[in-house]
């Protein structure tokens, strides 16, 4: 039996904060599929991620489209080994700019960034987040938890393109080496500072 959708923003934010707040660290694999507005397959990637609250993340997409997205809480590095290029930018604390930051960020900022609703059924809790800022990369974000762990997320952008991210082998609150969140720029790589 599924409980009705909760219209109460405060109850939804409280429930989302409870579930996200349990995880000081998250580590696991992901599979990401992108579909166009008609639902046609565009691309699929796989990779691994490590998140640590607040604001630290390591998001590695496997070859053939290998990339690393790393944050130490102050800077973000986007490294593309095929292009031999790294883009470095100051950390934007707006949770709407990257899903990794939403999962690893400051939970007190959720209400500053989103309207939130949720529904629960058995061991599954689904949240729908709509950004308050029109200048975001997506129009809606759905987060789904199963048995208290993040299971998947879906982002829909303004053109109707959908990105589905399914998490697997997720471990919560395991020790994480702080070096995972620092990027050492390899020799010969072009550096673009934003």
Please report, in angstroms and rounded to a whole number, the separation of the first and last CA atoms in the chain: 49
58, 68 Cβ separation under 8 angstroms: yes
Sequence-distant (6+) residues with CB within 8 A of 186 are none
SS (H, E, C) the chain: CECCCECCHHHHHHHHHHHHHCCCEEEEEEEEEEECCCCCEEEEEEEEEEEECCCEEEEEECCCCCEEEEEECCEEEEEECCCCEEEEEECCCCHHHCHHHHHHCCHHHHHHHEEEEEEEECCEEEEEEEECCCCCCCCEEEEEEECCEEEEEEEECCCCCEEEEEEEEEEECCCCCHHHHCCCCCCCCEEEEC
pLDDT value at residue 93? 60
pLDDT value at residue 7? 54
20, 101 Cβ separation under 8 angstroms: no
Q: What is the distance of C-alpha 95 from the center of its chain?
A: 9
pLDDT value at residue 95? 54
Residue 40 φ/ψ, nearest 5 degrees: -80, 140
57, 72 Cβ separation under 8 angstroms: no
| Domains of the chain and any CATH numbers | 5-182 (2.50.20.10)
pLDDT value at residue 1? 39
pLDDT digits over 142-182, tens only?
A: 999 999 999 999 999 988 999 999 999 999 999 999 999 99
pLDDT value at residue 3? 46
Q: What is the pLDDT along the chain (194 residues), one digit of tens a residue?
A: 344 444 588 899 999 989 998 999 999 999 999 999 998 988 999 999 999 988 899 999 999 999 999 999 899 999 999 999 999 998 876 655 667 777 877 777 788 888 999 999 999 999 999 988 887 878 999 999 999 999 999 999 988 999 999 999 999 999 999 999 999 999 999 999 98
């Amino acid at each position: 039996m599924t409980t009705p959708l909760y219209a109460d923003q405060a109850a939804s934010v409280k429930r989302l904060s409870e579930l996200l707040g349990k995880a000081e660290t998250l580590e696991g694999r992901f599979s990401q599929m992108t579909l166009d507005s008609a639902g046609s397959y565009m691309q699929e990637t796989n990779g691994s991620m490590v998140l640590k609250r607040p604001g630290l993340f390591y998001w590695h997409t496997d070859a053939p489209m290998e990339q690393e997205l790393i944050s130490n809480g102050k800077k973000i590095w986007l490294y593309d080994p095929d292009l031999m290029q790294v883009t470095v930018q100051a950390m934007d604390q707006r949770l709407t700019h990257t899903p990794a930051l939403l999962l690893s960020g400051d939970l007190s900022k959720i209400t500053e960034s989103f309207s939130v609703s949720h529904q629960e059924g058995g061991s599954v809790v689904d949240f729908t987040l709509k950004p308050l800022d029109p200048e975001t990369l997506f129009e809606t974000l759905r987060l789904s938890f199963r048995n208290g762990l993040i299971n998947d997320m879906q982002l829909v952008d303004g053109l109707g393109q959908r990105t589905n991210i399914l998490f697997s082998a997720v471990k919560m609150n395991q020790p994480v080496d702080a070096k995972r969140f620092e990027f050492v720029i390899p020799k010969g790589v072009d550096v673009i500072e934003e």
